[in-house]
Amino acid sequence: MNAKLSVFILSLFLPSLCHSQIADLVFVNGNLWTVDANRPTGEGVAVLGDKILAVGTTSEMKKYVGSATKVIDLKGRRMLPGFIDNHTHFMTGGFQLQSVDLRFTKSEKEFAAMIGERAAKRPGKWITGGDWDHDNWPGGNLPTKELVDVLTPQTPVFVNRYDGHMALANSYVLKLAGIDKNTPDPQGGTIVRDKNTGEATGVLKDAAMSFVYRHVPDPSTEEMMEAARLALAEARKYGVTSIQDVSSAADVRVYQMLRDRGDLTARFHCRLPLSQWEHLAALGIRVPFGDHSIRVGSMKEFVDGSLGSSTALFYEPYTSDPATKGLAMDVVGDGSLARWGKAADLAGLQLSIHAIGDSGNSIALDLFESIAKLNPAWDRRFRIEHAQHIAPKDFKRFASLGVIASVQPYHAIDDGRWAEKRIGHERCKTTYPFRSFLDQGATLSFGSDWTVGPLNPLLGVYAAVTRRTTDGANPNGWFPEQKITVQEAIKAYTMSNAYAVFEEQEKGSITPGKLADLIVLSDDILAMDPAKIESVNVEMTVLGGKVVYTANQR
């Protein structure tokens, strides 16, 4: 090849080579914690398209600035990778934003009054959601249908406790569902009854709620779209750029529609019910299936209920109710969980199993252990969702089996108000055991369980590093030996969550080549008193190189 031809060919490539080094967006004068062990700190980020082009000092960023480059001066503020939430009920969150909010009612009277007000405004329309917490009320008694019947004679009411494992139905709904004193408890569920009369009080636990769910009308597509938009606005405000959602097929369709319209401002990894594993397997879907916006391939199932509803499954009886050890879900008793789990794993689908009580977690670990022995090895990344109360013998099994502890740290400071009343002091030593998981070598990932807990990840970080219960009773931390560091909490909300859904090569850290999902904080959570982290705000959220939220937007 002669010299002139070589120069000509090189000239064809030089413009594109030069252009590739000019960024669309550059951040400078920042204080970065990248969660990348190879370069944990920096001052600036260059973004090209939806990817990170470079990370470095402010002076190093200058070479990526061209005439069309947008430059944002961070003015010393802390930048982190976008938060990833490991467990949400996202559409439920959107609908709850439209519904009556009973979470912080302080008495049965206030609870009833709010439902009555809602019924008066929308007579005859279903009242659902609510997220009540009877532990906030004097006496801590469960609500009864009598509280609301006189206010809602022709309005169906079915409002759930904030953990989603029990709900109150008024008499209108009980009649609609055919529930009376002679209705037997379903397997994996409880109809709470009056101790004197045997009549249903209106509270239904776990599987018993299905008697009512079949009567609740499905929302329209437009109603679902509106709920999703409201939920996405919450995510943007709190710097949540990726969601690992407990989804239905209808939810996934809504996310697709929003993506097609350019309105999907978070990335979704959707967990579908394990009972539907065959539908995905028949299509040849293996985890992770999809694109940067929406993925599927993880399957969700329940072992037990919740601590607040006294349906989490323990080895020993509840201190508060010695007559029960909790509830194993019907799929455990009839063998479906084991059958579905083994078959789904063989098909290359990821298992995400809800387990809260110590016995419930052991059942999930037993299942995983049997699957690992029976099925061919692959990078399966088993998950236990919540993993709240762990028998000491089981910590090492999380690590040895490669089971991800998919926990929600805010539960520790919320449930810590009353957990010892439910199960006693001794069992609470290994409750929400963040430090123990890390020390035993398990992968710890964080999320919210929204709407059970608040979507804001900074409240989760605050909970994990302080363990200060929301009632102010534990200023030095509830079981403080289980605290972790701010850096560890950030990693659990970023890189560990990316790993938990096979996405660690594309997100979770501020690293060249990864998606440009970034957030800017109002204060430096790595330098401040951890007790003040709960007041920190997200000032900017960036998704794929596009600024989707700033604190001053309206």
Residue given tokens 């949400």 in the structure block: 88
Both 414 and 310 in a single domain? yes
**Which three-class secondary structure state does DSSP give residue 59?**
helix
Q: Of 179, 213, 247, which residue sits at a domain end?
A: 213
Q: Of 53, 76, 99, which residue sits at a domain end?
A: 76
Taking the C-alpha atoms of residue 347 and residue 550, their distance in angstroms, rounded to an integer, is 43
pLDDT of residue 98: 85
Both 96 and 230 in a single domain? no
pLDDT of residue 9: 41
Both 282 and 373 in a single domain? yes
Both 242 and 340 in a single domain? yes
pLDDT of residue 294: 98
For residues 210 and 186, the answer to whether their CB atoms sit within 8 Å is yes
Greatest CA separation for the chain: 101
Range of the domain at 156: 91-213
The CATH number for 269's domain is 3.20.20.140
Both 68 and 101 in a single domain? no
Q: Of 174, 193, 213, which residue sits at a domain end?
A: 213
The CATH number for 191's domain is 3.10.310.70
**Which three-class secondary structure state does DSSP give residue 384?**
strand
pLDDT of residue 397: 97
Both 369 and 504 in a single domain? yes
Both 225 and 205 in a single domain? no
Both 69 and 162 in a single domain? no
| Class of residue 426 by CB neighbours under 10 A (exposed 0-12, middle 13-18, buried 19+) | exposed
Q: What residue ranges of the chain have pLDDT lower than 50?
A: 1, 5-19, 554
For residues 520 and 77, the answer to whether their CB atoms sit within 8 Å is yes
pLDDT of residue 162: 87
pLDDT of residue 91: 97
- Phi, psi (rounded to 5 degrees) for 352: -125, 105
Both 369 and 282 in a single domain? yes
Q: Is residue 81 situated within a structural domain?
A: no
The CATH number for 59's domain is 2.30.40.10
Instruction: Fill in the DSSP letter of residue 405.
Output: E
Both 202 and 234 in a single domain? no
Both 185 and 296 in a single domain? no
Q: Is residue 535 situated within a structural domain?
A: no
Both 304 and 195 in a single domain? no
pLDDT of residue 20: 53
Q: Is residue 276 situated within a structural domain?
A: yes
Please state the domain count of the chain: 3
